[in-house]
Amino acid sequence: MSKKNAKGEALVAFDGSASSIAALTWAAENAPLLNLEIEVVNVWEYVESALDVAGVGFGSGGYVGESDPALWSKQILKEGVAGVFGAEAEAIKTRSVEGGIVRTLVELSREADLLIMGSRGHGKFADLILGSISASCSAKSKCPVVIVHAPA
């Protein structure tokens, strides 16, 4: 933050998982105390695989059968922000970005004052992959990172 009393930005990585909901809730409670505005981002990447050929795709976030990951991304952002912020959801900035998850979040962290993300993503298989995403982002981010665990 370069100007006195100017608000900085808290960038919240969101994929709809329990950990990302916990991260968004943490941001809702703490960003105002830190004088940070919240932007919620979903980074997605459509991955071609043998399962795609069979008509079962692993699109954004690892969901099976998604034919339009960009649409899914926008929907999951809308639902997640509404779930945490309720009537105030319209005031929260959201962004859907196609790209490699770690690379994109690290690039976006250049403009943020704080990156907030969950410790794990969707499901047992995805946890193996997405747990490494939070570790990679915390190592490479250009701003401080808060990693939030979902309640047990």
Residue 61 resides in a domain? yes
Query: Which domain does 87 fall in, by range?
Result: 8-148
Residue 48 resides in a domain? yes
Residue 15 resides in a domain? yes
pLDDT means per 10 residues, the chain with 152 residues, are 72 94 97 97 78 44 62 95 96 96 96 94 50 87 94 78
Residue 79 resides in a domain? yes
Residue 64 resides in a domain? yes
Number of domains the chain contains: 1
pLDDT of residue 53: 46
CA contacts within 13 A on the Cβ side of 12: 30
Residue 32 resides in a domain? yes
Provide the whole-model pTM: 0.81
Assign residue 15 the CATH number of its domain. Answer: 3.40.50.620
Helix, strand, coil tally for the chain in percent (to 5): 45, 20, 30
Report in angstroms the alpha-carbon separations of 77 from 5, 130, 141, 142. Answer: 29, 18, 22, 24
